[in-house]
Amino acid sequence: MTKKKKTLRKWLQKKFQMVIYHGNSYNVIRKFHFNRLGFILVSIATVTILFAILSVFVVYTPIKQLIPGYPDRETRILIYENAIRTDSLLAEIEIRDQYLKMITDMVFENVPIDQEYVVPVQNLTPEQIREFNNPAIARKKVEDKTSYSLSKNEAMPDLFPPIKGVVVSQYSPSKKHFGTDVASSGEEIISAVLSGTVIASDYTLDNGYTITIQHTLDLISVYKHVKSSFVKSGDLVETGQAIAVYGNSGENTSGPHLHFELWRKGLSLNPEDYIEFQ
CA distances from 100 to 94, 97, 179 (A): 10, 5, 26
The per-residue pLDDT for 205 is: 86
| 158-185 confidence digits (pLDDT tens) | 899 999 999 999 999 888 899 999 998 8
**DSSP 8-state code for residue 172:** B
Q: How far apart are CA 180 and CA 183, in angstroms?
A: 10
| 36-53 confidence digits (pLDDT tens) | 788 888 889 999 999 888
| 97-114 confidence digits (pLDDT tens) | 877 777 676 555 555 544
- Give yes or no for residue 220 having a pLDDT over 50: yes
Q: pTM, whole model, 2 decimals?
A: 0.48
The per-residue pLDDT for 198 is: 95
- Give yes or no for residue 201 having a pLDDT over 50: yes
**Residue 5: band (very low, low, confident or very high) from pLDDT cuts 50, 70, 90:** confident
- CB proximity list for 236: less than 8 A, separation 6 or greater: 195, 196, 197, 198
The per-residue pLDDT for 106 is: 57
